[in-house]
Amino acid sequence: MMEENLGITPPLDSVTPEQLYEDLINTVRSYHPSADISMIEKAYIIAKDAHKEQLRKSGEPYIIHPLCVGIILAKLELDKETIVAGILHDVVEDTVLTTEQIGKEFSDEIALLVDGVTKLTQLNYSKDKVEIQAENLRKMFLAMAKDIRVILIKLADRLHNMRTLQFMSPQKQKEKARETMDIYAPIAQRLGISKIKIELDDLSLKYLEPEVYEELTEKITSKISDIEAFINNIVDEVRNHIEVATIEATVNGRVKHYFSIYKKMVNQNKTLDQIYDLFAVRIIVDSVKDCYAALGVIHEMYKPIPGRFKDYIAMPKPNMYQSLHTTLIGPMGQPFEIQIRTFDMHRTAEYGIAAHWKYKENQDGKNAHDKEEAKLTWLRQILEWQRDMSDNKEFLSLLKSDFDLFSESVYCFTPTGDVKNLPNGSTPIDFAYSIHSAVGNKMVGARVNGKLVTIDYKIQNGDRIDIVTSQNSKGPSRDWLSLVKSTQAKNKINQWFKTELKEDNILRGKELMMSYCKNKNIVLSDLLKPEYMNKAMTKYGFRDWDSVYAAIGHGGLKEGQIVNKLVESYEKKHKKAITDEKLLEAISEVKENKPATVAKSKGGIVVEGIHDVAVRFSKCCSPVPGDEIIGFVTRGRGVSIHRTDCINVINLPEEDRARLIEAEWSQPSERAQSELYTAELKIYAHNRSGVLLDISRTFTENAIDVTSMNVRTNKQGTATISIGFEVRGVEQLKVLVAKLRNIESVIDIERTTG
| Distance between CA atoms of residues 5 and 108, nearest Å | 38
- Nearest Cα to 388, choosing from 530, 150, 558, 556? 556
| Distance between CA atoms of residues 605 and 608, nearest Å | 10
- Kindly give the pairing relationship between strand 465-469 and strand 629-633: unpaired
Active-site annotation holder among 3, 60, 93, 337: 93
Within 10 angstroms of residue 506's Cβ, the number of other Cβ atoms is: 20
| 3-class SS of residue 686 | strand
| Distance between CA atoms of residues 426 and 458, nearest Å | 6
φ/ψ of residue 365, rounded to 5: 85, -5
Residues 6+ apart with CB under 8 A from 403: 182, 183, 186, 187, 190
Region of residue 352 (phi > 0: left; psi between -120 and 50: alpha; otherwise: beta)? left
Does the annotation count 675 as an active-site position?
A: no
- Nearest Cα to 68, choosing from 118, 20, 27? 20
Residues 6+ apart with CB under 8 A from 634: 640, 659
Active-site annotation holder among 77, 94, 209, 500: 94
Alpha-carbon distances, residue 434 vs 186, 399, 438, 446 (angstroms): 21, 16, 10, 14
| 3-class SS of residue 372 | coil
| Distance between CA atoms of residues 293 and 658, nearest Å | 93
The type of residue at 458 is K
| Distance between CA atoms of residues 741 and 737, nearest Å | 6
Percent helix, strand and coil across the chain, each rounded to 5?
A: 50, 15, 30
- Nearest Cα to 431, choosing from 482, 376, 486? 486
| Distance between CA atoms of residues 732 and 754, nearest Å | 21
Q: What's the number of CA atoms in the CB half-sphere (13 Å) around residue 577?
A: 18
- As a three-state string, the secondary structure of 641-710 is EEECCCHHHHCCCHHHHHHEEEEEECCHHHCCCCCCEEEEEEEEEECCCCHHHHHHHHHHHCCCCEEEEE
| Distance between CA atoms of residues 426 and 409, nearest Å | 9
- Nearest Cα to 251, choosing from 237, 264, 265? 237
| Distance between CA atoms of residues 275 and 265, nearest Å | 7
Residues 6+ apart with CB under 8 A from 285: 247, 248, 249, 291, 293, 294, 340, 341, 342, 343
Does the annotation count 93 as an active-site position?
A: yes
Continuous segment of H or E residues that includes residue 69: helix 64-75
φ/ψ of residue 32, rounded to 5: -145, 70
| 3-class SS of residue 295 | helix
Alpha-carbon distances, residue 465 vs 311, 429, 437 (angstroms): 20, 11, 16
The type of residue at 5 is N
| Catalytic residue ranges | 93-94
